Structures are given as C-alpha cells and as structure tokens.
Structure 1
Amino acid sequence: MYNMVLVSSSSSPVMFRVKRCQPELVAPATPTPQEVKLLSDIDDQEALRSHVPNIYIYRHKPSMEGKDPVKVIRDALSRTLVFYYPFAGRLREGHGRKLMVDCTAEGVLFIEADADVTLDQLGEALQPPFPCSKELLYNVPGSDGIVGCPLLLIQVTRFKCGGFTLGIRVNHTMCDGTGFTQFTIALAEMARGAHQPSVLPIWQRELLSARNPPRITCNHREFEKPKDIEEWQTIIGSIEKMIERSFFFGPTEIASLGNLVINNQPGVYTRFELITACLWRCLAKALQLPPEKQVRMGCIVNARARFNPQIPIGYYGNVTAFPVAVSTVEKLCEQPFTYAVELIKKAKAEVTEEYMHSLADFLVINGRPLYTLPWSFISSKLSRIGFRKVDFGWGNAVHAGVSDGNGGQIYGINTFGELHLMDYENSDNRKEGLLLPILLPANAMERFAKELDDMLWNPNQAIKSAKSQTILKSSM
C-alpha cells in the first residue's frame, strides 16, 4: 500500500492509497524475429535519450461492466508486441555510442494496480498537473535507463467507480508523438478484438540516417550555444522553487489572439502559431529577462508530410525537428504581436526534406549535441496526434497526454521551458480547446498569469506595459 495526498479542485486534501502488484514482463504472444535493428540518426540524438510519461484517464462505461481493463490491456499488449516486437527488446550501443535495438523479446514492464477512491474524488477538472502522477505510473527502480532497460513501462490502475487510468512511459528514441500514438491506437484496436493493427508498423529507419558523406546544408540555430548560461540559471532560480499550473485556450481565447494580429485573415495563422507567440512574449515578461538578451522559441515540427514521397504510413520512428525563432527580448515585447507570430511561422517553414537530411548529418558530424536549453523555450502541439481518441472499449479518454508541466523530463533534464499544448474539454463550459500545463519559478507564475490575462482580455494594457516590463536591469 502506498499513501499519498492529492489536492483537488476544491483545495480539499484527498488521501488515497494505490495498491500495486509486483511489476511483470509482458512478452510477445508468439515468437518474433531475433535480430538487431539500427535506430535512425534522428532517433539517436542526445535530446531524445529519455523516457516520456503519459497518463490516460477513462471513466466507467456501463456497457463494459464485468470487463477488467487490466486483463483486457495486458492481453492486447502481448498480441500487439507481435507486430511491434522491437519494443520488447533492449537498446544497446555500438561504435560511437550508436544506438540499436536488440530484439530479444524480453518484454515490456506492466503493473496492475488499484486505487481506493473514485475518479470524481480527484476533483472535477482531471487535468495536469497531477500530484498523484507518480502513483499512477510508478518508476520501477532501475527501469529508467537508456541502454539495457525496458523500452515501455505500463501501469493500469482501477478506481472504485469502474474508471481507470493508463500510465505509459516510452523511450523517446523509439518513436515520436505520432509514432507513439500509432502504437497506442494499435494496442486499443487489439483490446477491442482486432487480429492485427489497421496500420501495420514500418521500421525503415535508414530513411532518416545520415548521408554518406554527411553534409550540413541548412542552418540549425537550435544548437547554438549561448555564452551567458550562468546568468540564465540565476534568472530562473532553482527547480525546487517551481510550481505548476494549467491554462486553457478555447475558441474565445484563440479569437482574442487573432484580433491582435495586423490584417489577420482566416487560415493565415494557425492556433499553434498564435498561442506559441503569445506564450513566448508572456514568458519573457514574466521572467523579467534583460531587454538586450536573445531568446529562442523552438517549435516541434512533424516533418512526415514534408518529404517527397512522404514518409511511409506506418513509420513510427522520430520524424520531428526543432527549428527556433530568435529575437531580442526588447523586440519581442515591444513590437506588434504580428512580429512574434511571423517569427514562429517562418521557423516552422524552415523544415523541409533537405532540412531533415541536413539535421541528421549535423548530429553525426557534431557528436549528437543536446538541443540548446538556456535562453530557450520549446513548444509542441499534441492535439493533432489524437491521444484522447485512443479507445480500449471504454470510449475516448477524459485526459490523455503529459502528466505535468515539464513534459516528464522530455529531454532528460527537469526544465520549465517545455510547453505542450494538448486537446482538452473545459469542464466549466464544455468547450473544446487546448490545455497548457506549465512549470515556472514560483515568483514568475503570478506575473505570467497576469501577462496572459492582459493579452487575452485587456490587450491595450498589455501594449502599454510592454515597454516598461522590458526596460529592466540586467542584474534582475
């Protein structure tokens, strides 16, 4: 038994217990090929050598009465691994730390668990940050390494109401968000009785391996190293002082941001571009960054459709890039909002097929450097990936996606700079929109909330205060 305290939406502490069975290894249901498969050079980058946790929440469904989600998902997992058998293997390193999958069929970690409360007792708004996330996805000691460790960790937790949560942690070198969703959809299809996934997996990681000889043909500013890292660390403070909150962007909020753009026309700017530009400005002000400093906003771009021919359907490896928009704090905060939105749009447009080949070559030539974190933020939109539509028979998830405001250490580093926008239905008005869980230093969170509120509902005040907010002493 494990005790923990959850603060619900009513701010009343809820004590509940999660009883976990011993972790077990689930192997493919039938024999699978014993072979070694190389990862691509996009997969095999330092920034992706980490495990990404996600939480799916499902309510009770009367028509599924008598069905045990633990048994349904565990049985489906063993059959799904017949098709996705590399997940049942282990990573190992070759020459130059090159990662490859040894398809040993050892299996993935699976945990059966029970909570002694109902989902409703957790509060009306089932959204990140989840104080109980570590209970709903237990970190099995020794399981979170990169080489020689399980590539998937799954925990299914039953609740007294008949609902359940599914926690899944995946090794990011194996897949990106799109590839991960392809796997979970396959798992859900098998849970609903399918004999094979509707989309069969394709490996073909050589499509995104470095050329021979490698040659860098594009600018990759996402890897430029700033000189004043110590000043950045002073500004953000220590991780112990950080707090989490979530912010909702529905149709009304998106329309408000669109109204701030000069000559905005339908279809010119996406929701992602408007929100990311807004967050970039609000973060720069909330953190009181010196006006002369350059700050970056990276955009996670799915490049599958930017290849000719397109990356084959069924490919579940990493096909993402992280182009960055760069601006001084002064220009970012004092120029019209259109300036920031255009920078985001142009950064996304940099990603082409040639850019992806150049990126793979850059990583190999430079020893797989880590994406630049100081003076940087990075934004991704998980809504198109379709996390919430993964249906194991209990319908769509109430929540699906990252469990906290830092993406679960998506780059192996606990940092507040990662912004993940995911599908969400507002429980107050049933409006569909995007939810942003965010991690910030405590002294900056209040300023961030105010800046965001001004941009959305009091834009004249935001414009008036922009200059005064950015003319700050560099020592702050």
Structure 2
Amino acid sequence: MVEILESTLVVPSEETPNHKLWLSNLDQVTSRAYTPTVYLYRSKGEPDFFSVQSLKSSLAKALVPFYPLAGRLGLDQNGRVEINCTGDGVPFVVARSGSTIDDFKDFAPSQEIRDSFAPPVESVDPPCILVAFQVTYLRCGGVVLGVISHHNALDGKSALFFIKIFSAITRGGIDDAALIPLPFFDHTILSARSLPTILFDHDDYSTNIFQSNSSSPHLTTVLKLSKDQIQTIKNTCGDDNSRVSTFRAIVAYVWKIACIARGLKGNDETQLYMAVDVRNRLNPPLPQNYMGNATLRTKAVATVEEIVANSPSLGVERMKTAIHKITDEFVKSFIDYLDTSADLAGLTKRGGLPRTSLFAVSWLGLPIHDADFGWGMPELMARAQLYGCGCVYLMNSPEEDGGVAVVVALEEDSMGCFKKIFYEQM
C-alpha cells in the first residue's frame, strides 16, 4: 500500500515566457500516453536523504530553461497538439510505502508498479500536464522516484536529458544558472517542406499497428544477459559478428524465441517494428539538446519459418535493411507524408501488438542511470509499465559490467515457454 502524503505544483523559480509552442509531425503521431519510469535508491543513512525541499527547489530552477514542461498540452484550431507555455507548474507528489528496496529484487514492469510508484494523472488528452514526479519513501529508508512524461512532448532521450539536468542541480553539480545546458525547443526545425516531396512508400503508417485494448492479459519479464552471453548470441550472427550491434543481435534472438514460444505457424508473416532515433541521420543533425520526438518506426518482415529455421543472423540482416533505409531524405519524405495524412490523431493510440508482431526499443547507451541527486546513483531504473503484448526494451545493466536487461511483454500463454527456452536455445 502506498499512502499519498502531499501533492503540490512546482512552478519555475523565475518568470518564464508565455506562448504556444508548435509541435512537429513526429510529435503528432507518437503515443498519446505517458511514459512512466521508476528510479530506486538505497539509503546509506545520509542526512536529509531525498529532501523534498531540496528537490522542489532544484526542480523550480530547472524549469526556468525547461519552461515549456511547466505548461500544458493543448490543441490548436486544427486539432494538432501543441504546448501552451503557461508556467502552471509540474505536479510533485510525496508518498510512503511499507515496501523495501529488496522487494524490488525481481522487478518487472506492471500495472501495480505504475499505480503505486508513478504519479497519478487524470487524462492523457489535452489539456493535460507534461511531466510529473512522485517521491515514495520506503520502510527501509530507501526511495522510489517515479516520473511520467507525455510522449507527445518528449521522447526518451529528451526526458532523460531533463532528469540529468534536474539531478545535477539538486546535487550541486550545476550551481550557476548560467551553466545549465540550454534545451532546444524549436520544433519547426522538423517542419514539412512547403512543397511536399514524398519519394518513399510510407503506407505502413496509414494504419495503427497497435491493438486498441492495452489491458489484454499479458505478462512482463526482465531477463538479464551477461557480457559473455551477449557474445554467445553474437557468435550465431555470421562470420563477421564483431560488427553486429548488441541491439540487433539480442533483438533478432528475441524475435526467434518469441516465434517459437507463441506457437506461430511456419507460413505466418511476422513483423519486427523498431524505433529509430533520427537525430544524427538528418543533414544537418538535430541540435544535441533537442527536446521533442525525433524517432520514427521501421519494420523488418519475414515468415515464421525463416526466423525459426535460421540463426539470428537472418533477423539481423532484415533489421539492418529496415534501419539503413532511414536516411535524411527518407525522414523528410516521411514528415511531408504525415502533412498529407487525414487522421494523425488516429495513429497515436497504444496497446498490445498482434501475436505475430514485436516492437523493440533500445535504451542502450542512454544515460538512464545518470540520475544522482546527491545521494548516489539509482540501483535500478526502468519503465514502470509497458504498453502491452509484444513490447521489448533493451537497457544497459546498472552495474556497468557490459550486461543487458531485456524487458519483454508477451501473452500469458506464451511467457512460460519464452522464459524456459530463452537461455536453453543459447
């Protein structure tokens, strides 16, 4: 049980601009949902451990350069989402729980974790908040920091950058406001061209790949791979496996195991969707501190028989082909395509995927554990909840030992087999 002790709004410590912030087409078609994450901190008896006063004060300072996040998501006259930079503030919840840090030893994202340790929200639809925080003090003295960020406003890299700056200010790592790295909020850099030029087939985006019911029965697991186990998987990916990325090798392997565990027929078509960060694929690249959505979806396709009967190298090659087509011109063509789409809002609903599909997201290399608020690094950072069946997330091990955590959500009748053969097939 979690008891809410306090719920307040933290506003910027200085007056901030009041205006409307235009959002790009890449923002329009992403999830109309919050991304809930949790950070776990073990207390070592530090004085004023996770002081609410310190956190609120530093958050107020961080919200000066990041002032749009203190506003609200709105709609313009054409029904497009935009940010109303009102300075209304960021919800900050303080709670306590009878749980201990050790209760999270076998952590897996779930509805229960989301409901207990991420801040509550009334709606994902405008008008609504953009970010919120919940600090939950545990019986053992530890803390769970829950964060939600609205996906229409921030992708994972943007949200993590905000947390990085917020935590640095709190621990005294940035004690001068002039030293705060400035976020880049001008989304017009991703505007459609005045003369739309669609040179590629983007019809895959004409329908929503997600099923509408995200609450369909599914289970979530976190499977850990050591550095040696990752190399074992890479060794199955052809003679030149030294050039195969960790993401592609592991996801191709997960793709194969999921096809087996789901009992799919050999002639079924199976789809692997991936989120691709386009920041450095554009010419020129986006500014380093761009705050918004800069990812798009691509798809690798094969028959189940092809995936199951071959080594993961086949999946790696299909993934490589799907990812390499995301060039500067492809992204610009895609943005132009979205400008001609009649129903962008209809593409934003999220839920589980069909039984033949997976959606893989890489958090490898992202600063997910770079959240030292002055009391040490988190023991764990993870999503509090996944969208539903078929979602796969890859994250670096917090021990920085070269390991990877594989977070997978599958149907209840598939998960047992998946977990059993995941290590056996290696």
Pair in the same fold by TM > 0.5: yes
Q: Percent identity?
A: 27
Post-superposition Cα deviations, 1:135-185, rounded to whole Å, max 9, x if no partner, equal 112424x2x322111111210112233321110011011111111111111
**Greater shift after overlay, 18-27 or 270-279?**
18-27
Post-superposition Cα deviations, 1:94-146, rounded to whole Å, max 9, x if no partner, equal 233211111111111110112234323x1544554584442112424x2x322
Secondary structure of the residue aligned to 2:129 is coil
- Cα offset, 1:432, TM superposition: 4.2
**2:329 pairs with 1:354:** yes
- Cα offset, 1:437, TM superposition: 2.3
Contact in 1 for aligned 2:71/2:84 (Cα 8 Å): yes
2:250 is matched with: 275
**2:343 pairs with 1:388:** no
Contact in 1 for aligned 2:107/2:222 (Cα 8 Å): no
Structure 2: which amino acid aligns with 1:199? P
Structure 1: which amino acid aligns with 2:409? L
1:464 is matched with: none
- Cα offset, 1:222, TM superposition: 4.1
2:264 is matched with: 289
- Cα offset, 1:218, TM superposition: 2.2
2:347 aligns with one of 370, 379, 398: 370
Secondary structure of the residue aligned to 1:174 is coil
**Whole-angstrom distance in 2 between the partners of 1:320 and 1:437:** 20
- Cα offset, 1:423, TM superposition: 2.1
For the aligned residues, what is the CA RMSD?
Answer: 2.5
Structure 1: which amino acid aligns with 2:128? C
Post-superposition Cα deviations, 1:315-352, rounded to whole Å, max 9, x if no partner, equal 11111111111111122222333111111122121211
Query: What are the within-5 Å matches in structure 2 for residues 1-12 of structure 1?
Result: 3=1
**2:69 pairs with 1:87:** yes
**Whole-angstrom distance in 2 between the partners of 1:397 and 1:107:** 26
**Whole-angstrom distance in 2 between the partners of 1:314 and 1:441:** 38
1:192 is matched with: 171
**Whole-angstrom distance in 2 between the partners of 1:291 and 1:238:** 27
1:313 is matched with: 288
1:11 is matched with: none
1:162 aligns with one of 126, 129, 141: 141
**Whole-angstrom distance in 2 between the partners of 1:425 and 1:94:** 42
Post-superposition Cα deviations, 1:199-255, rounded to whole Å, max 9, x if no partner, equal 2111120111222232322233642659xx9xx98xxx9955322221112212211
Post-superposition Cα deviations, 1:359-412, rounded to whole Å, max 9, x if no partner, equal 2122221232527944432111112111112111122111112123x2xx3xxx
**2:54 pairs with 1:72:** yes
2:81 is matched with: 99
2:419 aligns with one of 449, 457, 468: 449
**Whole-angstrom distance in 2 between the partners of 1:376 and 1:394:** 41
**Whole-angstrom distance in 2 between the partners of 1:346 and 1:378:** 16
**Whole-angstrom distance in 2 between the partners of 1:434 and 1:382:** 10
2:36 is matched with: 53
1:343 is matched with: 318
1:40 is matched with: 24
2:273 is matched with: 298
1:180 is matched with: 159
Tell me the TM-score normalized by structure 1: 0.81
**Whole-angstrom distance in 2 between the partners of 1:61 and 1:217:** 58
Contact in 2 for aligned 1:199/1:313 (Cα 8 Å): no
**Whole-angstrom distance in 2 between the partners of 1:158 and 1:115:** 6
Secondary structure of the residue aligned to 1:48 is coil
**Whole-angstrom distance in 2 between the partners of 1:21 and 1:238:** 30
**Whole-angstrom distance in 1 between the partners of 2:110 and 2:72:** 31
Tell me the TM-score normalized by structure 2: 0.90
Secondary structure of the residue aligned to 1:247 is strand
- Cα offset, 1:441, TM superposition: 1.6
Contact in 2 for aligned 1:129/1:246 (Cα 8 Å): no
1:211 aligns with one of 167, 177, 193: 193
**Whole-angstrom distance in 1 between the partners of 2:421 and 2:383:** 24
1:242 is matched with: 218
Q: Relative to 1, partners in 2 of residues 1:91 and 1:117: Cα closer, same or farther, differing over 3 Å?
A: closer
Structure 2: 5+ residue runs without aligned partners? none
1:108 is matched with: 90
Contact in 2 for aligned 1:276/1:344 (Cα 8 Å): no
Structure 2: which amino acid aligns with 1:243? L
Structure 1: which amino acid aligns with 2:52? V
Secondary structure of the residue aligned to 1:277 is helix
Structure 2: which amino acid aligns with 1:54? T
Contact in 2 for aligned 1:221/1:323 (Cα 8 Å): no
Query: What are the within-5 Å matches in structure 2 for residues 17-28 of structure 1?
Result: 18-28=2-12
**Whole-angstrom distance in 2 between the partners of 1:128 and 1:238:** 14
Structure 1: which amino acid aligns with 2:336? D
1:12 is matched with: none
- Cα offset, 1:442, TM superposition: 1.6
Structure 2: which amino acid aligns with 1:177? G
Structure 1: which amino acid aligns with 2:183? P
1:134 is matched with: 115
